[in-house]
Amino acid sequence: MAYEQKPNNGSLWPNDKKTEEKHPDRTGSMLLECPHCQAQWEAFLDGWLKESNGKKWLSVRVKPKNKQRDQQPQHQGQQPRRSNTDF
C-alpha cells in the first residue's frame, strides 16, 4: 500500500544532497488544507538543525510547490494577506 499524505501533515527527511552550509539539513513536503473551504495544496518543507543556549531546535520554512500564489484559496469577503516574509 502506497503512503498517502494526510491534510496538514508532512514529513522531513535528512537532506543527502546538501552541498553548502546554508542548504537545509532536512527536506520534505506536506499537504495543506484550508479550514474554511477545504481546498488543498502541496508545499515543500525545509528544516535547519540549530542550537542555542545548549538546546537543540529545528527552524523550518514552508513554500508552496505551485509558485502561483493566486491559486491558493481566496475566501469571500477577504483580501489576500501580504507580508514582508516569504512563507
The answer to whether position 74 is within a domain reads no
Number of folded domains in the chain?
1
Q: Which domain holds residue 57?
A: 9-15+22-65
Per-residue pLDDT, 79: 57
Question: E strands of 1-87, at which residues?
Answer: 9-14, 26-33, 40-52, 55-64
The answer to whether position 49 is within a domain reads yes
Tens digits of per-residue pLDDT, 23-72?
999 999 999 999 999 999 999 999 999 999 999 999 999 999 986 555 55
The answer to whether position 36 is within a domain reads yes
Q: Are strands 9-14 and 40-52 parallel, antiparallel or unpaired?
A: unpaired
Tens digits of per-residue pLDDT, 2-17?
778 899 999 999 999 9
d(CA 48, CA 59): 5
